[in-house]
Amino acid sequence: MAKKLGAYSQHLKSAADLETTYEQVRAGFIALALERNRRATPYVEEARALKAAASKASKPADLTKIKGIEAALLAAAGVSDKAAGHLLPENKQEAIHGLITKFLEPAGAAFVEELVFRFLLTRGDTLGGSMRNVGGAMAQRRITRALLATLTLTKVPYRWLHGNSNSWAAMTGDDADIELYLRGLAWRRGTKDRTLIYNVTVPLVNNNVDVVVLDCSPENYKNAYKEADSYVLLGEFKGGIDPAGADEHWKTARTALERIRKAFAKERAEPKTYFVGAAIVKKMAQEIWAELESGTLSNAANLTNQDQVASLCNWIAEL
């Protein structure tokens, strides 16, 4: 009897198909650079606004008299927004006083430029921190966009969960850029309700999972996610594009997926699992392929290959 091919066979014929090419790595690094610039734009605009406001001061000490720039002065003093939340008013004043006496006054007539430079240094650290997770965020957006395309193409109405308001919105004719804010997606196909949520702490596993799909409507989600039988799919994705860290990312994801399978097996439940990675090197590709062939892993795709992502998302939408 011929072996039944898994869903992955629609877009993968061998382990080599999973490998990330040099051209894809290069494109990934460029995409990261563009994302860094996009995220930096608000900080640059804040710096321009700070410069305009600070220019009203004739000397550094006058800066404390300008309303609305205390947070910026604290940032220039090296105090992050998180740290500022733990400081008393007198501590904040002390930090600003130190900035003025130790750095701005010695700068002389160029104190405004010195202020802006130091403000950007702190904001740069903030940006660097947010960039550590940017690969995962970009992976989530790419998968989301492919899922939206699949549902729209097959004329399946959907609702989406706004990450900021935590409310569900109906599908509209213009869904441009909603992947920037989307945290969940829900649709109904025939008699099946499906609710997909990103970054969920699954009670049964007691760990965060990148994405889950449950057999329920959004209204029943809070109860369903506690029940093992409600889970249709759990997945891990790694959006980092640097090949040097690829094996480590796969090791982390593989361990997480194995933990998921063991936890659900104890409850006699067998939800499907999948892995998506941006940087997939040869050895890693062979290990993923072996898990696909054995049925340990239900599906997989290379995030940098649009055809593979589209095929994977079509499979998700039809589960």
| pTM for the full predicted model | 0.78
* pLDDT in the model for residue 313: 94
Residues of the chain with CATH 3.40.91.10: 7-35+133-318
55-131 folds as Recoverin; domain 1 (1.10.238)
> What is the residue-level pLDDT of the chain in tens, covering all 319 positions?
445 668 899 999 999 999 999 999 998 888 878 878 887 888 889 999 999 999 999 999 999 999 989 999 998 998 888 888 888 889 999 999 999 999 999 999 999 999 999 888 888 777 666 556 667 788 888 999 999 999 999 999 999 999 888 899 888 877 778 888 899 999 998 889 999 999 999 999 989 999 999 999 999 999 999 999 999 999 998 888 888 888 888 999 999 999 999 999 999 999 999 999 999 999 999 999 999 999 999 999 999 999 999 999 999 999 9
**SS in 3 state form for the chain?**
CCCCCCHHHHCCCCHHHHCCCHHHHHHHHHHHHHHHHHHHHHHHHHHHHHHHHHCCCCCHHHHHHCCCCHHHHHHHCCCCHHHHCCCCHHHHHHHHHHHHHHHHHHHHHHHHHHHHHHHHHHHHHHHHHHHCCHHHHHHHHHHHHHHHHHHHHCCCCEEEEECCCCCEEECCCCCCCHHHCEEEEEEEECCEEEEEEEEEEECCCCEEEEEEEECCCHHHHHHHCCCHHHEEEEEEEECCCCHHHHHHHHHHHHHHHHHHHHHHHHCCCCCEEEEEECCCCHHHHHHHHHHHHHCCCCEEEECCCHHHHHHHHHHHHHC
Write down the architecture of domain 7-35+133-318 according to CATH.
3-Layer(aba) Sandwich (3.40)
For 222-268, write each residue's pLDDT tens digit: 999 999 999 999 999 888 888 888 888 899 999 999 999 999 999 99
* pLDDT in the model for residue 2: 44
* pLDDT in the model for residue 135: 73
* pLDDT in the model for residue 175: 78
For 146-170, write each residue's pLDDT tens digit: 999 999 999 999 999 998 888 998 8
* pLDDT in the model for residue 1: 42
Residues of the chain with CATH 1.10.238.90: 55-131
* pLDDT in the model for residue 105: 93
